[in-house]
Amino acid sequence: MADERIEGLEARLAAGNATVGVVGLGYVGLPLAVAFAEARLKVIGFDILPQRVRAVNDGHSYIPDVASDRLRRVRADERLEATTDKDRLAEPDALVLCVPTPLTPTREPDLHYVVFEAEEIARRLRPAQLIVLESTTYPGTTDDLVRPILLRSGLNAEDFFLAYSPERIDPGSRTHSIRNTPKLVGGVDAASTRLAAALYRHVADEVIPVSSPRVAEMAKVFENVFRAVNIALVNELAQLCEKMGMDVWQVIRAASSKPFGFMPFWPGPGVGGHCIPLDPYYLASKAREYGFHTRFIELAGDINEEMPTYVARRIADCLNARGKSVHGARILLLGVSYKRDIGDVRESPALTLYRILEEWGAQLAYCDPFLPEVQIGSRRVTALPLNASELSTWDCVVIAVDHTGVDYESVVARAPLVFDSRGVTAGLAPRANVVRL
């Protein structure tokens, strides 16, 4: 590609005169689209769901991390619009793909959303466009999957730019945003890396170029595998401490007093969200292509997946010790989201725990201020209000998510049995009716 095309696009990006397209307006795409618009870039958001497009254009956010007033401001400034019209993919100078990358039922990578959108772009790709993939995936996706699809456009590889920049959204975080989280970018060539870095400098204080898309893809997967492995380690430690009659929460706090060489992770009923439960399987699947078995990583996945069943067994044992069978027991779950203070149930271990206990014959209900209703199997279940005066009517209250704003002292004082899977009662005075993971 002629240097003037590179320099022209780079100049437009640097000056903020470029148009950015964000493909997929979910948990990653909508916050990114709003961030670009707030940086005074013109943004077109693409989504296949008409209801999402209508909501964005009406200024109504459906993503907790994006307040509706922020959305309304960029709409009023005419900096952001949403559409389902794929023919408009030719308009933006840069297109960022933020689509889901789930697993198949057999725990293999499912990249059909990436393939579909890449094919849609290829039909409309024009010279000098920058394409960036943000979706979490295995190393090699940008080079080996996305690039060949884009080449079906009839353009040569040097006619367009392609890069990978992993999303690092932390849903519900009050401290980490797109702006203050370093942004990795790895292009298929030096020009692609340079242009992707110029794009993201509008929304991130620190942009870190790496040598290739593969490095950026592996870094993203490694970040989440690191967490998954350490969470599995501490979940296994929790099981050992229970057998040895020790409080795992006290053990971790004691170990955390060491000022070097230790980083605390905390046990729980499993791991949730889109990335941490899935990414180990993405990496393991790719590793098998190289004849490599990621034993350590896959074992960590197995341990974390087994935690809801382990917690259910502990709850059943606690009920049995008090002369009550889990079958027919009235159990109230406090929280069903996948982590504290958000209304996101993707891969939620609390929901898995709910289903297991219900299959065992327990009578289940839940309280969650962030989720007025959830899908359990084929039915919708409505949350109960957390009524302190009714806590004594439940056989067991399970702290499945450590939402802030809950009066756990009152819960402990009123419920006949509390199973704490998150350690929020560790600082309270010991009580015979409280059992911790």
CB atoms within 10 A of CB 422: 25
- Mapping DSSP onto H, E and C, the string for 302-327 reads HHHHHHHHHHHHHHHHHHHHCCCCCC
Cα angle 308, 311, 315; round to 5 = 135
Instruction: Identify whether the C-beta of residue 249 lies closer than 8 Å to the C-beta of residue 256.
Output: no
Q: How many CA atoms are closer than 13 Å to the CA of 144, on its beta-carbon side?
A: 9
By C-alpha distance, which of 309, 311, 345, 329 is closest to 421? 311
Neighbours of 294 (CB within 10 A): 18
Active site includes 367? no
| Other C-beta atoms lying within 10 Å of the C-beta of residue 349 | 24
The catalytic residue among 275, 318, 367, 396 is: 275
At 141, list the tokens. 């996706």
Ramachandran quadrant class, 365 (left: phi over 0; alpha: psi -120 to 50; beta: rest): beta
Which of 403, 400, 406 lies closest to 421, judged by CA? Answer: 400
- Bridge-based pairing state of the strands 130-133 and 207-209: unpaired
Neighbouring C-alpha atoms within 13 Å toward the C-beta of 349: 28
Q: Tokens in use for 76? A: 């009023």
CA distances from 278 to 14, 346, 369 (A): 36, 11, 27
**How far is 202 from 216, CA to CA, in rounded Å?**
19
- CA geometry: angle at 108 spanning 107 and 112, to 5°? 125
Longest distance between any two alpha carbons in the chain, whole Å? 79
- Is residue 408 within 8 A of residue 424, CB to CB? The reply is yes
Q: Which residues are catalytic?
A: 275
